[in-house]
Copies of this chain bind each other. A is one copy, B any other.
């Protein structure tokens, strides 16, 4: 099967610059961050407001795509597990899923809490939390 082209819609601007020091989960201490959205998609932000919980999808462009098994949480004492039952960034399509809280919307910039992605990470989508849209 052939692939598809995924196009970034924005970029993470965060004090997190180092993968090693990045928390493995957003609620383990990620600093507040901005998402800078591209001018061409700003209409899509209509209705995004402070206080909402949304899912940010990123493309983890530093990840390895040829990895299929990992030690969970990089703990080599734990047995190898398939990446599809872990949140390893290393996986065939390195899409990151991050539940964030919207803190502010200022033009093309959106401030968020709990985004555990490093500075410069491409953002590819923003969605409601599963089951929250009725």
**Chain A interface (Cβ within 8 Å of chain B)?**
1, 3-9, 11, 25, 27, 38, 41, 43-48, 52, 54-55, 57, 59, 61, 68-69, 72, 80-87, 91-93, 95, 97, 99, 122, 124-128, 130-131, 133
Contacts and interface: CB of A to CB of B under 8 A. Distances in A.
B7 A80 contact: no
A46 B92 contact: no
A3 B59 CA distance: 10
Copies in the complex: 2
A92 B7 contact: yes
Contact of A92 (B41, B85, B86): B41
Main secondary structure of the interface of A (DSSP, over half): mixed
B128 A46 contact: no
A86 B48 CA distance: 10
